[in-house]
Amino acid sequence: MQFDRCESQCIHEEAVAAVSGKMLSGEEAQSLADTFKTLADPNRVKIIFSLMHQELCVCDLAAVIGASDSAVSHQLRMLRNQKLVKFRREGKILYYSLADEHIDTLLKQGLKHISHSKEWAARFLEFI
């Protein structure tokens, strides 16, 4: 492949070749990164965490996480684009909920990693 593009002398050629053969494409890595990026903000984490318990409208979410309606609406757009949440309309009110159960698992897996270093994380894993 393009070993010549590498600037270093220390390459283990077989290892590099083996892993390169299985590597994600740039676009694939970007998609995965975008998925995690969606959960890479404390307010969005709080939104997902809230919706794990029950569906909520925009201003309920704003009240729960302590942000403005507008800020929450902006974040919800991102969560919608990444298909992490869905909504149903009832008159003027939009009720948001998680798009599927994988989101739930994804957040729990994050908590599981944190529980290695922080005690509080283990507590949440018991109750959700």
Partner DNA sequence: TGTTCATATGAGCACTTGTTCATGTATTTA
Partner DNA sequence: TAAATACATGAACAAGTGCTCATATGAACA
Q: Which of residues 54-73 bind a second copy (CB under 8 A)?
A: 54, 56-57, 59-60, 62-66, 68-69
Q: Is 121 in the site for a second copy (CB under 8 A)?
A: yes
Q: Which is nearer to DNA, 26 or 126 (CB)?
A: 26
Residues 31-50 that bind a second copy (CB under 8 A): 31-46, 49-50
Cα-based angle 84, 30, 58 (whole degrees, multiple of 5)? 25
Q: What are the start-end ranges of the H helices in 1-128?
A: 13-22, 26-38, 42-53, 58-65, 69-81, 101-114, 119-127
For a second copy, the binding residue among 77, 105, 122, 125 (CB under 8 A) is: 105
For a second copy, the binding residue among 89, 90, 120, 126 (CB under 8 A) is: 120
Q: Is 102 in the site for a second copy (CB under 8 A)?
A: yes
**57 three-state secondary structure:** strand
For DNA, the binding residue among 40, 122, 125, 128 (CB under 7 A) is: 40
For 44, residues 6+ apart whose C-beta sits below 8 A from its C-beta are 38, 75, 78, 79
For 58, residues 6+ apart whose C-beta sits below 8 A from its C-beta are 69, 72, 73, 76, 94, 96
Q: Is 75 in the site for DNA (CB under 7 A)?
A: yes
Q: Which is nearer to DNA, 20 or 70 (CB)?
A: 70
